[in-house]
């Protein structure tokens, strides 16, 4: 690789280190940016310009979201470079914008969630029904991301304090999530049943697959469609479909709506919710909701 590109490569390493320290993964972005640096190196350029970025993006293929994804990655890196050396140009936001229709979150009503859990309880296989029924309930009463729920280990449940320790959130740190006693009891019952069905398993994950290993996102995504179908939950529009991520959106909307109904100071309480999983709390009916940016 030519020296100019090697210098930019060092800057790229610094940029990725900084962004990842803030919780970003940038796996795809890193691939695009290293391809872009190869392009600059072949042309012996050591300065990022809008012209070079546009030419590279127009020559490249990045899949169905092209060319916006490539330019989005370059633009973020260009902002970093420009802060250190104004000679580097930042491509304007309107150049190769991403053309992607944002999905509309599917908000599940309490009846929807109950139907999902009942349908999950009919799944076949050792422990499978119990695992998915508990997973759906856990997501519904905590608002966890699916990846955070799958990453939970037995040691992350503090029964004495009534807390979950979430160690793999977007900020790559941890946070405490309070649980209602009924939710703790449900988790305890599931873990007892899990250890009966899968004695001596090596994995420490709370939620276990049929083989005793940690559940994977792909397996959950595929299996979730079955209780959705059995519960009779279909898409409300072309962009509003029932997905497992909708449980997190539903929790957030229901919690905020409950605070407003109770006359709470919502700005003061935002980010500090009370114990989650309280049964009997009134919640809004299921609906499509477009999040505001």
**Quick one: 37 and 71 in the same domain?**
yes
Domain annotation covers residue 292 = no
State the total domains in the chain. Answer: 2
Domain annotation covers residue 35 = yes
**Quick one: 120 and 34 in the same domain?**
no
The pLDDT profile of the chain, 293 residues, written as one tens digit per residue, is 344 444 899 999 999 999 988 778 899 899 999 999 999 999 999 999 999 999 998 887 654 446 788 899 999 999 999 999 999 999 998 888 776 667 789 999 999 999 999 999 999 988 999 999 999 999 999 999 999 999 999 999 999 999 999 986 555 678 899 999 999 999 999 999 999 999 988 889 999 998 899 999 999 999 999 999 999 999 998 889 999 999 999 999 988 888 888 888 776 665 554 444 433 333 333 333 333 33
pTM above 0.75, yes or no: no
| Residue spans of alpha helices (H) in 204-286 | 217-230, 246-261, 266-269
- Category of 263 on φ-ψ map: left (φ > 0), alpha (ψ -120 to 50) or beta: left
Residue 130: the pLDDT is 96
Domain annotation covers residue 172 = yes
**Quick one: 181 and 58 in the same domain?**
no
Domain annotation covers residue 274 = no
3-state helix, strand, coil in the chain (%, to 5): 50, 5, 45
Domain limits for position 22: 3-84
**Quick one: 60 and 134 in the same domain?**
no
Residue 97: the pLDDT is 76
């Amino acid at each position: 690789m030519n020296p100019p590109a090697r210098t930019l490569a060092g800057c790229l390493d610094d940029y990725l280190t900084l962004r990842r320290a803030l919780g970003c993964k940038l796996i795809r972005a890193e691939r695009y940016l290293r391809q872009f640096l190869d392009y600059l190196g072949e042309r012996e350029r050591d300065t990022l310009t809008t012209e070079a970025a546009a030419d590279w993006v127009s020559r490249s293929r990045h899949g169905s979201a092209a060319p916006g994804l490539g330019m989005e990655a370059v633009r973020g890196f260009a902002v970093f470079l420009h802060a250190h050396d104004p000679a580097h140009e930042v491509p304007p936001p309107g150049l190769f914008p991403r053309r992607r229709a944002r999905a509309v979150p599917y908000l599940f009503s309490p009846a929807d969630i109950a139907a999902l859990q009942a349908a999950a309880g009919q799944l076949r296989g050792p422990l499978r029904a119990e695992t998915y029924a508990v997973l759906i309930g856990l997501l519904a009463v905590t608002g966890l991301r699916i990846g955070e729920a799958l990453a939970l280990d037995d040691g992350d449940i503090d029964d004495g304090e009534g807390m979950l320790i979430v160690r793999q959130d977007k900020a790559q740190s941890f946070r405490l999530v309070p649980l209602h006693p009924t939710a703790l009891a449900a988790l305890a019952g599931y873990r007892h049943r899990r250890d009966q069905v899968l004695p001596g398993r090596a994995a420490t994950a709370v939620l276990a697959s049929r083989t005793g290993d940690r559940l994977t996102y792909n397996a959950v995504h595929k299996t979730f469609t079955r209780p959705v179908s059995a519960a009779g939950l279909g898409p409300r529009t072309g962009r509003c479909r029932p997905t497992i991520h909708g449980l997190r959106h539903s929790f957030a909307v229901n919690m905020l709506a409950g605070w407003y109904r109770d006359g709470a100071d919502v700005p003061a309480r935002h980010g500090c919710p009370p114990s989650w999983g309280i049964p009997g709390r009134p919640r809004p009916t299921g609906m499509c909701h477009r999040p505001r940016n």
